[in-house]
Chain A
């Protein structure tokens, strides 16, 4: 009889920090201590708290172990699983009561009460970190495929579309187009063949929501796509997923095979005359293929380039047939909406943005990871409560949402309630859900440059405004960060941004200037500091930095000179009052601005400005 479940995270984050060897060690030790009949090891998807990985949870007590190493496993098995003494030193500190005693069975706060999980509402992620994604039966135990059953036996396609419309669900890929409307638009077009496509080509740097859903709950996507197929009248679906997500691809394929075996994909599902099947198509890593028309072109076997809209995919999409395309997270909400009702979903979130949104928290924040919160939660709450704040006592400067297509939210707007419309109102966008937090050490011009470098690399080259425009824009930003720009250049930058936005063919080019425009809007003074004062206030842009030795503080010990890789530090004739040796000085022409000298000077005699 199984009395204990040991859940080991098998998401990409924890896998790369060694969860495979932890699983092996558990198997070995469970065997060794003769617990195989009592303890079950379960590999799950992402728990969300990636910063604390690899993560292990032991049920029924719910003990949360973080940063577990393979060497720790023998101790967990012997102490906790055999003798019932949780290994306190490995427990996640956020899950312990402050006055926890060794023997106190209620010392562990329930995971759901920790600051990280407390204000989360898990809809899209509800099974991630709970079930084994490689076992269809566990998904079924959690109400899996009940929604598909309900749709096929109790609802007409119009009922389904109406339910999605009423729920207020909007596209989670970034655009925020009402999902029900997209379904309705595709349903009305009559054609012998229609398609359902799932966009899992998650390309924004720092975003990994879709990957985690596919890794942790692949059947939810299969179920939702079948429901969509029934609603719009399609019998074939494709999931377009990045080849860089090997775990997601493998689990999805496994899930499709299991669903076929159970007859949940294929002909006459649940004995009805509805048939639906799915295929996986791998993307080769081009960012532009996340754009819907480019994605379809790529599925067709052609070079992944966008095409003009209209005609929209709902009319003429994949293989010239009406096609419904939704993002992974959008689909992940669908079975829950069908089961719990449109009203339930619409009761969460803000007025125009219903439900929840998954964010990938990254950058200068303590709890790096994946969180799902109701729409309309303030940015302050996300960063300070759930994210645990900024590490090292630094100050929050701005958050970047929407990746290379998005913009930034400055500290002054930290109380913004995050939803589609509020973000657009401040010149930002929701995007797919990457949320990168920046502290006072981040240079906003440099940040804009980073994203622009990304789009320059990823521009497919089909249209000139994007291909040439972003390149020229990057060159102008380089002028700013190297201190060679003038105020006229700043005007030209803004003008070029608007030109690219208005004239590019697809979403990639139309949004590429957003990081630049939004940083100019909120951090114009920082651009001016680079242009007029030739200074980088955050001390990031190397060309504008100068290292100097304060001669009266220097005792002439020579530590810095020995560290300098460029031999740029040498003796002067000056001996400071009260000092015995001549002070040193930095030859700025030779200096490579590595900062090594600052770190070794015990007298704080070297300054960066």
Chain B
């Protein structure tokens, strides 16, 4: 170690890897991953969120976790976003592409993507 810059470089590189464990999350993205969810394609959605949140530099503010069956199997893949003090938002029939938009608009800019929510879903 010849300089502080080298130390800082290691710290920056590692920070994303340990930030998961700090348990601080302003927003929590929960992906339904029961059998129905997985069958409907929840796994690529989950991966898109994990990757997208990291790439958008939101890892210290947003946590991505899974949950079991939410009970609305016909709408799977279902993603819910929780934020302290706010009503939860339920997105349905999610895909990796839709996930990218949710990350950009909802998670980054705080604007709910109304067209994907359960309230606006038309079968």
- A145: CB under 8 A from chain B? yes
Query: Looking at the complex, which one of B4, B25, B50, B66 makes contact with A270 (CB distance below 8 Å)?
Result: B4
A571 contact set on B, CB distance < 8 A: none
* B123 is an interface residue with CB less than 8 A from chain A: no
Q: Which of B29-37, B93-101, B114-122 contacts A (4 or more CB under 8 A)?
A: B29-37
The verdict on A153 contacting B4 (CB below 8 Å), with A105-B65, A105-B67, A143-B11 known, is yes
A150 — nearest CB in chain B belongs to which residue?
Answer: B4
**A7 interface residue (CB < 8 Å to B):** yes
B47 sits at the interface (CB 8 A): yes
Inter-chain contact A60/B47, CB cutoff 8 Å: no
Instruction: Tell me whether B3 and A60 are in contact (CB under 8 A).
Output: no
Interface residues on A, range: 35 or more
On whether the beta carbons of B7 and A60 are closer than 8 Å, the reply is no
Q: Which residues of B contact A268 (CB under 8 A)?
A: 2
Are A84 and B68 touching (Cβ within 8 A)? yes
Interface hits, A133-167 → B, CB 8 Å: 137-138, 140-143, 145-146, 149, 153
Q: List 10 A-B contacts (CB under 8 A).
A: A1-B50, A2-B20, A59-B20, A59-B21, A60-B64, A82-B33, A84-B33, A84-B65, A138-B14, A146-B11
Q: Quick one: which of A362-392 are within 8 Å of B by CB? A: none
A263-B1 in contact (CB<8A):
yes
Cβ proximity bits B41-67 to A, threshold 8 Å, 1 near / 0 not: 000001100110010000000011111
Interface SS of chain A: helix, strand, loop or mixed? loop
Least distance between A84 CB and chain B CB atoms (Å): 3
Q: Is the CB of B54 within 8 A of A1?
A: yes
**Minimum CB–CB distance for A440 against chain B, Å:** 40
For residue B35, which residue of chain A has the nearest CB? A83
Question: Which B residues are CB-close (under 8 A) to A3?
Answer: 46-47, 50, 64
* 0/1 string, A98-122, CB within 8 A of B gives 1: 0000110110001110000000000
A62 sits at the interface (CB 8 A): yes
Which residues from chain A contact B14 at a C-beta distance below 8 Å?
137-138, 140-141
CB distance from B59 to the nearest CB of A (A): 9
User: Is A264 an interface position by the 8 A CB rule?
Assistant: yes
Q: Say whether B40 faces chain A, with CB atoms less than 8 Å apart.
A: no
Q: How distant is B82 from chain A, measured CB to nearest CB, in Å?
A: 7
> How far is the CB of B67 from the nearest CB of chain A, in Å?
5
Contact B2 A106 (CB under 8 A): no
Contact digits for A185-205, partner B, Cβ 8 Å, 1 yes 0 no: 000000000000000000000
Q: Which residues of B are found within 8 Å of A270, using beta-carbon distances? A: 1-4, 7
A85 touches B68 (CB 8 A): yes
CA distance A140 to B11 in the complex (A): 5
Q: Is B110 interfacial (CB-CB < 8 Å)?
A: no
Task: Pick the most buried of B10, B15, B28: most chain A CB atoms within 10 A of its CB.
Answer: B10
Cβ-defined contact, B68 with A142, below 8 A: no
Known contacts A140-B7, A140-B10: A262-B1 contact under CB 8 Å: yes
Output the least CB separation between A155 and chain B (Å).
13
Q: A342 in the interface, Cβ–Cβ < 8 Å? A: no
Contact: B68 with A83, CB < 8 Å?
yes
B17/A61 in contact, CB under 8 A: no
Knowing A83-B35, A85-B67, A140-B14, say if A1 contacts B47 (CB, 8 Å).
yes
A269→B15 CA distance, assembly (Å): 23
The reply to whether B21 and A7 form a contact with Cβ atoms under 8 Å apart is yes
Q: Taking the complex as formed, is A310 at the interface, i.e. its CB lies under 8 A from any CB of chain B?
A: no
Q: Are B63 and A263 in contact (CB under 8 A)?
A: no
- Min C-beta distance of A267 to chain B, whole Å: 11
